[in-house]
Amino acid sequence: MSAQQRYPVLPSRMSLIAMKTRLKGAQKGHSLLKKKADALMMQHRKIMRELYNAKIEVIEEMKNSHFAVTGAIFAAGDISFSIQESMKIEPYKASIEVHNVAGVSIPTLLPESGDSSVDNIISGIGKGGAEIKDARLKFRDTLGTLVNIAALQTQWVVLDEAMKVTNRRVNALEKV
């Protein structure tokens, strides 16, 4: 080993104690970073599982929503103009909440509960109006699932970036 790779230390008891405390601090920092990387990996896998399930679920919801629209068209006839005239639909609202996972801030979209705009809809007499309301509710649920997918994908990207940085730091401490 050459003299340039060594750390300059005087051979004294005080230096020995200082080096031992530095080594202990570095080992503690490495173990904490390793725990953080493991926590981020667990959360990453959890989000991937939820994202996969949500994407499978949205396929079925889309089928059901479009089938409900077909049923509404069959029951109510041509509904395009009647919906535009009678429905004043509120926009879909979601709030942003930030969670902290191992020191990483992860944004989450939460849909606002309570959809009172469905009760006010008068879109036909008889079964056609009920079918239109049902189709609207199904599309509203599908939209909620799509918002959930968008939130999960955002969380996944944020966690992935944090995991890369943390794993680089862990590997750097292991290789030193």
pLDDT of res. 91: 74
What is the per-residue burial (b if ≥16 Cβ within 10 Å, else e) of 28-54? eebeebbebbebbeebbeebeebbeeb
Q: Which residues contact 125 (CB under 8 A, 6 or more apart)?
A: none
| Residue 100 main-chain phi, psi, to 5 deg | -110, 120
pLDDT of res. 105: 86
Which residues in the chain come in under a pLDDT of 50?
1
pLDDT of res. 67: 83
pLDDT of res. 1: 47
pLDDT of res. 123: 52
Q: Which residues contact 15 (CB under 8 A, 6 or more apart)?
A: 9
Distance CA 28, CA 36 (A): 12
Q: Which two tokens stand for residue 16?
A: 């020995």
| Best CA proximity match to 39, nearest among 126, 99, 117 | 99
pLDDT of res. 42: 92
Q: Which two tokens stand for residue 93?
A: 């609202």
pLDDT of res. 57: 92
151, 109 Cβ separation under 8 angstroms: yes
